[in-house]
Every structure is written in structure tokens, then in C-alpha cells.
Structure 1
Amino acid sequence: MRSQGQAAWEVLLPAAAAPARRRGRALQEALREAVRSGRLAAGTRMPSTRALAGDLGVSRGLVTEAYEQLTAEGYLRSDRGAGTWVGDAARSRHGGTHARWAGASAPEVRVDFRPGTPDLSLFPRSAWSAAQRAVLARLPHPALGYPDPRGLPELRQALAAMLTRRRGVVADPERLVVCSGVAQASTLLGFVLRARGLAAVGIEDPGSPEHGRLFASTGLDTVWLPLDEEGLRPEPLAASGVRAVVVTPSHQFPSGISWSAERRAALLDWARAVDGYVLEDDYDGDFRYDRAPVGALQGLDPERVVYAGSVSKSLAPGLRLGWTLVPEALLAEVVERKRTMDLGNPVLDQAVLAEFVTRGAYDRQLRHCQRAYRERRDALLSALAEHLPGTVVSGIAAGLHVIARVPGHYGPPERFLARAAEAGVALRPLEEYGTARPGDGEVRLVIGYAHLAPTVVSDGIRRVAEAVGRE
């Protein structure tokens, strides 16, 4: 069994020198990365909170909070009366997934740039726990019965007010359905459209393949519809024959573009002309860094746009809480499908989210995440400029990922991705998100950064640069 040593605190000294308002988070990030990288090996006994605080020159409370947070995440383990130790599962959990291009014998993933995951360590455990206590203290017994399949009235009212204020939607609580994220919202709509006789739904190209899989589960085919720099191209849409499309107009996934006003208007004109519907997936509508938020498409025509969102990026995907605003013509069918599917979402979870939103904790969480993610985005841009000069980056003003177009002289895409995987860096090429296969020799990457500390972001790009520079 390893004993504590100088390494247990020397790796944390830079974090201890961070500005006071960031010191706690910096300490947690540094400790987390030390465990991930193996600098603090599994089985290492950590100093007591009092001893480590004295060595670092910080308050004992900061160290206690860091230990508690990382113990909850599995990086550390605490045995009552026996101290705190580095957990056995930390490195295997973070290195267990391999890049698609890596092959069976590739080394473990040290830095995973694949998009789609927020930083789960930012989940507001204390505020969420306070909301839970408040709800359990006052929730009447009858509220624990079978819920309205649309969701608890207090949650629908809270969400409607928040979405009106933050996203510019037309949000009638009576037409808001609480569901298990955007995935269930898509499935509910798919079943309803299939029952109405539709055979296919259009998806953006490039776009999320997950949309196609979700609608396929309801019996609908999918048709890829090409984009340009302004949004969905009207001519292929008109020629496709579909009467329903899924779009991400505020911050298109994965290209990062914001649809132009002309394309938004053209899409709604098309929907009215074919008596069709648009599903707006507002997957990261709350994360804007360098520009004012772009309002949701639904606000322009709530009778043709089905709006869907969730707390998966702002809180945690594991909560399985989301919402959809449904046009009046589809509402009864969507609610009935929701009722027969699962009888509604868990009451306690809904009540806690309602409390969390109404007391202002959700807005505070969004501000906290926004600051953290902006810092990580800036670290990514700096690292790309330093280590892979000539890389053109787009989609940086919003969201949790960027598109990076790496010049061809760094190698053809297959070699680039293979070398990065050998260096322990997981990357996802843009070509996995659509049908286009550019032949210009440049590597186009969709780089997710929200779940990585700034130091990890910089280290990952450095690893890639060193790997692809080898001949």
C-alpha cells in the first residue's frame, strides 16, 4: 500500500495560487487530473484535510470540499477513521473508451475530445439537495399519485416562464409536455406523425445521426437534407417530399452555424405550404459566449414548430428531464402517446426541478457553466493556434464544441486520426455526421471541450500535434 508523499500536494501547488474566486474549482480540477494521469496512483493515501490545507496555504474548507466532490465522483475513496485514498477505478473509467480509428490494440484514451458530454462535476449537488429537502417537506401526499402525463403543473408553469424569458418561445403551460429529454420528445412526435400517415422525416446534413435512429424506431424513414452557410437549402427540401424535418437552427449541430432570418422564414413557409411540422432541437440554446442569444424558431410559428429541450447539457443527462412545446393540433395525440408510454415522469424529480427553477438556482447554474465553458473554449482556441497553426475554427461563439479544419500538410485524415488515437486522444471527424466526403485532404474535426479542464484541453491538442508531426 502506498503512503502519502510530496507528490500528493506538489501537483496541487499551481491550483492553490489561483485567484480566490477560482481557487476551489482549480484545486478540484488539478486533483482530478492528477488522478486521471496517474501522477497520483491508485492506492495512494492522501494527506488529511488539515495537513494538505497547511501545505498549500489554503483554507481547510476548500480541501474538504475537494475531497468530498472527488469522492462522490469516484476519484477518491474515504474509509471512516482510516483516511482518504486514491480510488482504484479512476483511470480505468476514463480510459475505457477508444477512438473509432484506434483499433483493438490502441492505448487507453487519455484525452477524449468527442462531443456531447457536459462537465458532470459541475452538477450543483448542494443546491439540488436543498431543493429536494424543500420539496419533501411540503409536497402533499396526493401529489405522489399518478401524475398528469403532461407533467406537474408547477413544473410546466416554471418551465414556460423560463423558456419565454430565455429563449423567446411562445410557451403556454397547457401545451408543454415534460418528457425524458429530447430523445423522448422526438420519439413521441415520430409515433404521432407515423399514425397520421407520414413515411419519412428530413434531417440536416451534416446533422446528428441519433435523430435518424430515433425516428427509425417509430417506423419513419429519414432523408438527409443538405445545408449551406445560411441553413437548410430550400430546393432540396422542396424536392424531398417530406412533411416533417428536424432542425437545430440557433446553433446547428455540428457545423455551429446560426440559420439566417431568410432561411428560417423559408422553412416556415414550406411547413405551411405542405401542412407539415418542424421539430426544433434546442440542444444548447443557453450557451452563448461572444454574441447575443438567438431566439428559438418556435416563437415565429408555434403552430408549425414542435420545440424540444432538456437539462442534459445544463445539469446532467442522467436526470432524464426535458420538455416539448406542442402545436395545438398535435397536443392530444402527443399527450396520449406519453400516457401509454410511461404514465408520466417521476413526480419527485419534476417537483425538485420546479423548485430549482423558481428559486433562481437554474439561472445561477447556467451562469456558472457558461463561465467554465468559455474558459475551456478559450483554452482550446489557444492550443490549436499554438500547436496546430493554420487550423481554421468555426462555431466558436456558442455551444459546447467547435469545428476545426486542419490543413492537409498535417497528413491525410486516416493517418491523422490513427496517429492521434495512438497518442491516446479520441477525436471525431465531421464526416461521421453526414453524407459529404470532401476530397481536399483536410481533416475536419468536431471537438468537444466542455467536459475537459483547460489544462487537459491544452495537453490533448499538444499530444495530437506531436503525434501527427512524426514521420
Structure 2
Amino acid sequence: MTENWTTLRELLLPAVGARGRAVESALRGAIRDGQLAAGLRLPSSRDLAAQLGVSRGTVTSAYGQLVAEGYLTSRHGSGTRVAEGIGRATPPAEPARPARQWRFDLRPGLPALGAFPRAEWAAATRSALADLPDEALGYPDPSGWPELRAELAGYLGRVRAVTATAGDVVITHGAAEGLSLLASVVGGRIAVEEPGHPGQVEMLRANGSTPVPTTVDEHGIDVDALRRNGCRAVVVTAAHQFPLGVALRPARRHALLAWARDHDGLIIEDDYDAEHRYDRPALRAVQAMEPSRVAYLGSVSKTLAPALRLGWLVLPPALRATTVRRKEVTDLGCSPLPQAAFATLLRSGGYDRHLRRTRALYRTRRDALLGAIADRLPDWEPVGVAAGLHVVLRLPAGTDDAATSALLAGRGVNAPALSTYATHPPYPGLVLGYAATTPDRLRAAVAEIARITRPGGR
């Protein structure tokens, strides 16, 4: 007779021999001790009898007795379940602290999650899974799925002028893991931009490095300050500095590479949102100018969705073997399934099509935000508007941006202060993300900011 695998459920009970009462006693004890939770569906009498090596009648009799005692419930069509209110009392779980419900959430860093290409991703996943060989379901290559590394090398060369082969690419769980790997491999003092992303500082510290804040001005990172701070590595967001939004000027790029040569230093280029540009052409990656001195970081967190946890490192030759080994001993590599799906999306042109759509979407949202600021807050200057997913709203000199941000937060508007990204910010400001908010909501948010910060005004 064919086994009905759709109802098969395993249940761990002590050896009971052939005695009927032993099955009943074992079940009663497991329920009392909390091993079998309230509401849990038990195996069918046939299944449990086969598992315990007793007759089906023995299990049926035990179930019937425990139903009569109130330990179990039995309904036609829903099987036999452990009754509610039976068993060892457990302390109530501490209630989860509810997430803050913002009326307007303008924090930077999130793309439009509703624009994720679900249909194309599902099709790419089905296609990749159909083509995936059986051996790919074992432990993966810690460097990453070979087909994805090859596709990425071609894509990054095409759109960012990155110089790489598949062998130079390591797939990571987002750019965060890439930075963590480099921090653990390089170690020591690593310069970070000031202002910059607090998360970078935390990751470097957590992986044994010492972050050293280094000033950023309107031309990008101050290389003279970098020369003075004694670091052998630096993290830069050259294409669109976070959070100020400036691009690293050509003279600074050349000076940065000269620093790396003079100090045998490493440039860690975090290219976190270079795909999103509106009023300026694409910039070549710094890595393209001297691949032996630059480790290039990227991910899909700002283009597709952070939930995919897909990123990449393009490494100089001196760091490849050590970084791959570190990746192997920390997590054995990333799952090949999403890697294969992303490789398919790249190969089919679906990723490029998605970026064209979202670039137009984000331009519309940025324009709505800038128009509302010009109308309602004309003396507040937007900075870094030509690219990216956020702007810095420069406030009048002497404004306390932390107090302004707190005032807005009290009225349900999440608008982080620039001072939260720097010990000594260059000016007071608010850092406003716009990618995840519709044009109408952006206009309403700016109107609310104006009402809150300008009592009696428009």
C-alpha cells in the first residue's frame, strides 16, 4: 500500500514497548511537561503506531482516553491536537516593543520597496533553479557562484569601468559583510569619512579595526588630513558621498591614489548608490584608475532590496586569498540560489530595465521634494541633489539641527539631523531620503515640516 506522505508527522516519545498504557502515559507526560505544545497536531494513529512499533488499536485507544481526560481534542478533518490550557505553565513572553509609527518617514537608505520587480525576480529564480545542477546544492564556493561573478565582472566594467575578471569578485551578504571582511583582514587604523555613516564605524570596530574620522568638504575627503592621521586604509564613498552628496573631485582622486602608493595603503571604495544619477553623467569608479590599490564594494540593497542580502567585493590581488579564506571560515559562503537568480536577471537585461524604471521614478520623487522645499522652505538649501536617494537640507547658520529633528520627531516626522552623522558637522542640516515616499507624500511632509518649524507661517 502506498504511504501517504502528506500526513506523515514524526513524534519523539520514549520507547514504550508493546504495552498500551505505556503509549497513553508517554503522551500524557509529554503534554504535562510542555514537550507537546497546546494546539500541536499529533500524527495519525496509523503513523504513530508505525513509529512506535505498536498496533494501531493501541494508539487509537490512547488517543481516546486522553481526549476523554481533556488532554487532547479530536475533530473530523483537523486531526488530533493537544488541548489548550494543558501542560506546564510558561512565563509570558515579554511583549515586543512596537516600532515607531512615523507619519512621514524620511530617513535615508531605503529604495522604493514597492518597485521591486517581483515578476522578473520570480521568473529569474524559476529559470535559474531549473538550470542549477544537483552539485550546486552542496556547500557553495566561498567566492560565490561562478556565473554571477562572471556576470558582475562584465556589468561593473560596462557601467562603472571597473577592471575585473570573475576571479577578482567575491560575493557577500550585502556590502556590510564586504566591509566587515576587509576590516578583519586589514585590521589596524582605518580612516572613515566625517561626516559619514555610523554603521561603517560600528562594523569596523566590531571586526577589530579602529575607525579614524577624516574630514570631508565640498571636494570630497581631505587627503592632506588623511596623510596626517597615520592610517593605512580608508573607506570612501567617492561617487556620491554619504551623507553630503558630493562627488570626489578629479584632483582629490589623483591625490588619494598618490597617498595609497606613498603609504602602501588600501582604498575601500563603497559604491553604495552610484546607479542613481539625474543631472550629471556617470562617474568612473576610483578602482578603474588603479585596481591594485582599491577594494571595490557594492550591493543590490539600494537597487533591488536590502532583504536579498546580496553584495560583492572586487579585490586587488594581494587580498584575494586571505579574504576568501576569511569568508569561508566565517559563513561557508552565500546561498547559490539567489546568486543564480541575480545572474539570470543580469544576463537577461532585466536588471538594466529595472534600473531605468527606478531612475525615472526617483527623479520624479526628487523633483517633487525639491519643488516643495522651494515653495515652502525657500531659505533652506538642498545639497547633493544630482544623484542618489537622499538630499541634505542645509539649515540657516546657527540652527540647532538636533533640536529641529527632535521637534519634528515629536510630531511624527522622521528627519535625521546631519549632526548625527558627524562629531563636527560642516553646517546644520537634515538628511532626507525620498526614494521610498510618493510625490504627494513628499509634498505633504515638507508642508508639515514648514508648519512645525515656522509657527504662524504657511
CA RMSD of aligned residues (A): 1.6
Label 1:96 to 1:394 Cα distance change in 2 as closer, same or farther (>3 A).
Answer: farther
Residue 416 of structure 1 and its aligned partner are, at CA, apart by 2.6
Q: Which residue of 1 aligns with 2:108?
A: 115
- 1:464 correspondence with 2:449: yes
Equivalence for 2:148: 155
1:354 to 338, 343, 358: 343
Aligned partners of 1:97 and 1:109 also within 8 Å: no
Distance 1:142 1:222 in 2: 41
Partners in 2 of 1:232 and 1:443 — Cα distance? Answer: 19
Does residue 297 (structure 1) correspond to residue 286 (structure 2)? The answer is: yes
Q: Which residue does the alignment assign to 1:430? A: 418
Structure label with greater radius of gyration: 2
CA displacement at 1:417 relative to structure 2 = 2.5
**Within 5 A, what are the aligned runs for 1:21-420?**
97-98=99-100, 108-194=101-187, 199-407=188-396, 412-420=400-408
Q: Which residue of 1 aligns with 2:4?
A: none
| Deviation string, structure 1 residues 370-399 (Cα, Å, up to 9, x no partner) | 011000000000110111111111111100
Work out the CA distance in 2 between the residues paired with 1:302 and 1:437: 32
> Using the alignment, how far apart are the partners of 1:132 and 1:451 within structure 2?
25
Secondary structure at the aligned position of 1:287 is classed as: coil
**1:153 partner letter:** P
Corresponding position of 1:455: 440
| CA distance in 2 between partners of 1:158 and 1:230 (Å) | 33
Contact kept? 1:96, 1:109, Cα under 8 Å: no
Q: What amino acid sits opposite 1:431 in the alignment? A: S
Deviation readout 1:14-41 (Å, 9 max, x if unpaired): xxxxxxxxxxxxxxxxxxxxxxxxxxxx
Q: For the residues of structure 1 that align with 2:320 and 2:351, how far apart are their CA atoms?
A: 27
Give the C-alpha shift of residue 443 in structure 1: 4.0
Distance of 1:253 and 1:137 partners within structure 2: 40
Q: Does the 8 A contact of 2:142 with 2:332 survive in 1?
A: yes
Is the contact between residue 312 and residue 320 of structure 1 (CA under 8 Å) also seen in structure 2?
yes
CA change 1:412–1:323 in 2 (3 A) is closer
* Offset from partner CA, 1:253-276 (integer Å, 9 cap, x none): 111001111100111111111111
* Correspondence for 1:37: none
In the aligned structure 1, how far is the partner of 2:209 from the partner of 2:379? Answer: 42
Aligned-partner SS, 1:203: strand
Deviation at 1:418, TM superposition (A): 3.4
Q: In 1, Cα distance between the equivalents of 2:304 and 2:191?
A: 29
Structure 1 residue 303, shift from structure 2 partner:
0.5
Q: Report percent identity of matched pairs.
A: 44
TM-score (norm 1): 0.74
Aligned counterparts of 2:236 and 2:154: Cα–Cα separation in 1: 23
Find the aligned partners of 1:319 and 1:301 in 2 and give their Cα distance. 30
> Which portions of structure 1, spanning 4 or more consecutive aligned residues, are displaced by more than 2 angstroms?
95-98, 406-409, 411-419
**Alpha-carbon separation, structure 1, partners of 2:224 and 2:117:** 46
Structure 1 residue runs without a partner (length 5+): 1-94, 99-107
Question: C-alpha displacement at 1:96, in angstroms?
Answer: 5.6
CA distance in 2, matches of 1:96, 1:371: 34
Q: C-alpha distance in 2, partners of 1:153/1:316?
A: 22
Code of the residue aligned with 2:448 in structure 1: it is R
Partner of 1:444: 429
Q: Normalized against structure 2, the TM-score is what?
A: 0.76
- Number of residue equivalences: 360
Once the 2 structures are TM-superposed, how far is the Cα of residue 414 of structure 1 from its aligned partner? 4.7
Moved more, 325-334 or 208-217: 208-217
- In structure 2, the residue matched to 1:28 is none
Structure 2 residue ranges without an equivalent (≥5): 1-96
